[in-house]
Amino acid sequence: MPTPSASSSRVMIVAFQGWSDAGDATTEVLQHLGGMLDAEVLHVIGAEGYVDFQVHRPKIMFDESGKRVLEWPDTRLFGPVQRPGRASESAGFARIAEPTSPESGTSGDEAAGRPEGTPAPAAATDSDTVRRIDGSPVTDLFLLAGVEPARDWQNFADEIVELVDVWAIDFVIILGSMFSDAPHTRPIVTTVTSENEARRAETGAVRSNYEGPAGISSVIDLALAEAGIETLSLWAQVPHYVHSTPSPKASLALLDKLEELLDIVIPRGELLVQANEWEANINRIAEADEDMSRYIRKLEESRDEELAAETTGDAIALEFEKFLKGGPRFARDLDFPAGSPDRAASPDPSPNANTGEDEDPPAPDQAREDPTA
């Protein structure tokens, strides 16, 4: 059976806080998309049994009636809901990282975190809505947000496979971001990989040859592939020397690639301003630190050399061959010279990947997690 194009598929975008979310780049992408889609909580995978609550603690807060309630670090699926007589209403999910629904497998007012019968907030304006190239709104995009579980990964992955089947998802994109020897002054490098040959031909993705430590994203990717569900893994490289702050520039790079992969238009909102401020702030810090400035110049020289190598005759021939085989959306940023510091590799060397604990950022020469999932 032919593979449906990404633009005509029911697509789920997945991201987890923790190991595979360097610079908060992936969770910011889901947060950004969540504020522009008319969607509700469709299902909740409870944190109990999966999440270490000493690492990701529940939060106590007041609900709309003034009652104190606990909000658990559950994994939530967000998607569109159509109700008779309420087609014009929206239950937007701008708080995607912290939805308030305590129930699993629910939808509607309660799943959206509102008392039953409470009117939904107004829909986003046209200029703040994710749309297709022809201007029509996107109504078949789903988001799965959560924290990386600390234990029982296989059962967790099985729940996600079942979720994809129940909601008839055609295609899954797994987001990741990793700390890398990448200069903040150059465009953020993204990599796209897939185990599915048809998807590789359509998108210009490559098949990963990585072997080494893996995170929950890899476990989910393999579980979905085994179940016959097509996936793409999209990763961004984040400068490791600015690990203590969010990286809006990396989030923008992921959104750029999502637009290309899905043939949709995603408004950038304030992310462009935030990315410019982020880069300007790092420049100011570097100007006052000669060692940091020298190190950044070395990274810039290395990156520029790689870009120059891509313009050689062999590189151009390879790119043209990829274009002929994979169509116009081939990825120029997937082939790195052997030994390159930015060659796709593992984003985190933590030996405690299965604990769910946040680790200090890796040194530039340390192994990093599988960027294929």
DSSP 14-48: EEEESTTBGGGHHHHHHHHHHTTS--EEEEEE--T
Give the containing element (helix H, strand E) for 141: strand 141-147
* Contact by Cβ (8 Å): 211, 362: no
Mean per-residue pLDDT over the chain, rounded: 77
- Could you tell me which of 206, 197, 151, 161 has the C-alpha nearest to residue 332? 206
In terms of residues, how long is the chain? Answer: 373
Partners of residue 220 on adjacent β-strands: none
Q: What is the pLDDT of residues 347-361, one digit of tens each?
A: 343 334 344 444 443
Tokens of 287: 């100007």
Residues 6+ apart with CB under 8 A from 281: none
By DSSP bridging, strand 59-62 and strand 68-71 are antiparallel
Maximum average pLDDT range among 28-42, 145-159, 236-250: 145-159
What pTM value is reported for the model?
A: 0.72
Percent of the chain with pLDDT over 90: 46
* pLDDT computed for residue 324 by the predictor: 55
Q: In what order do the strands lie in the sheet with 75-79?
A: 40-45, 75-79, 141-147, 11-17, 171-180, 230-239, 190-193
The answer, yes or no, to whether residue 251 has pLDDT greater than 50, is yes
Q: What is the pLDDT of residues 137-171, one digit of tens each?
A: 888 999 999 999 999 999 999 999 999 999 999 99
The answer, yes or no, to whether residue 134 has pLDDT greater than 70, is yes
* pLDDT computed for residue 255 by the predictor: 96
* pLDDT computed for residue 225 by the predictor: 93
Q: What is the pLDDT of residues 284-332, one digit of tens each?
A: 999 999 999 999 999 988 888 877 766 555 555 555 555 555 544 433 3
Write phi, then psi, for 41 (nearest 5 degrees).
Answer: -70, 120
- 71 CA to centre of own chain: 23
The answer, yes or no, to whether residue 344 has pLDDT greater than 90, is no
d(CA 151, CA 38): 33
The answer, yes or no, to whether residue 42 has pLDDT greater than 50, is yes
| Per-domain boundaries in the chain | 6-355
* pLDDT computed for residue 219 by the predictor: 95
- Could you tell me which of 141, 373, 125 has the C-alpha nearest to residue 267? 125
The answer, yes or no, to whether residue 238 has pLDDT greater than 80, is yes
If you average pLDDT over residues 47-65, what whole number do you get? Answer: 94
The answer, yes or no, to whether residue 46 has pLDDT greater than 60, is yes
105 versus 68: the higher-pLDDT residue is: 68
d(CA 59, CA 57): 6
Lowest mean pLDDT among 214-218, 232-236, 335-339: 335-339
d(CA 339, CA 175): 24
- Residue the block writes with tokens 């810039």: 300
* pLDDT computed for residue 19 by the predictor: 87
* pLDDT computed for residue 6 by the predictor: 57
- Looking at the domain 6-355, which fold is it? Rossmann fold (3.40.50)
* pLDDT computed for residue 333 by the predictor: 40
d(CA 303, CA 315): 16
The answer, yes or no, to whether residue 122 has pLDDT greater than 50, is no
